[in-house]
Every structure is written in structure tokens, then in C-alpha cells.
Structure 1
């Protein structure tokens, strides 16, 4: 009878160990799935943030380019006026 009782206990321990192992495996799978989801979300946010930054940079560069071009035109007009070849002063030298 001791042998059957020992076998029963051994089987019970094995069943309990198998159940615990299955719980741990499921827990590890859930943790991995959650980590994968969080990583995918972080990657999506990073991509959206990069796109937004790219758009802002493009707008900034365009605005800066327009400002530089306007300043260059202003400087050119000022120089023409100083030399007397600008549109505003051309009527003075016509005689």
C-alpha cells in the first residue's frame, strides 16, 4: 500500500508541477505579447513624431528661404537706388 500511496503522491506532485509550468509559460507568453504591443505602439509614435518633425523642418526651411530671398531682393533694390539705377530714381536721370 505504501507503493501505491507514494505513486499517488508522485503523480500529484507531477500534475501540480505541470500546472505551475503551464501557468508560467502562459504568463511569459502574455508578457511577451504585451511587450511586443508596447514596442509596436512606441515605434508608431516615433514614426509619427519623426514625420511631424520632418514637416516642421520643411516648413521652417521654406520660410527661411523666402526670408533670405526677400532680404536679397531688398539689398539689391537698395543698392540700385544708391547707384541711381533703381526703378524709383530712374526718372531723375532722364533728360
Structure 2
């Protein structure tokens, strides 16, 4: 299971309707997380390292991220996160 990080243009984000998605915010913290469905998100602010059994991925403002269903990971937020998100 792999975390996919991409960079979309403003136009691509608007076409996907990203800016109409709900917003989630979290301060600096470290916690375990499990995805029971696929999540798409666009990072508006902050920086976080996501660690799984197989990889460690740093994401930051401007990244478009796909977390696959079934993923178990640890979120380590270095700088308060603000993101738009949607579940598939």
C-alpha cells in the first residue's frame, strides 16, 4: 500500500472540485491512524510525516495526497495541518 503524492495546477484542483470539499485541521501532534476508505486530500497549510510499515512520506502545503483504503500509519505533524479532504 503506497501513499501517492502529486502536484496539481490550480485549474486541475478546481476541475476536481477540491475547494468545495470539507476542511480538516490539526495542531502539532503524533497519532496512529487507519484508513477504512480511500481518502483524497489537498494540503493547504502545514507539514506532516506519515510513516507506514513500508515507507515514510513527508507532505506539505501544495501536495495532493491519496491515502489508500486499508492503510495503517502514524501521523507526525510538525506544523499545524489544514487540508481539504474527500473519501471515495
Q: What's the TM-score bracket when you normalise by the shorter of the two chains?
A: under 0.3
Query: Could you say which structure has the higher strand fraction?
Result: 2
Larger radius of gyration: 1
Query: Could you say which structure has the higher helix fraction?
Result: 1
Structure number with the bigger relative contact order (C-alpha 8 A, sep ≥ 6) is 2
Normalised by the length of structure 2, the TM-score is 0.11
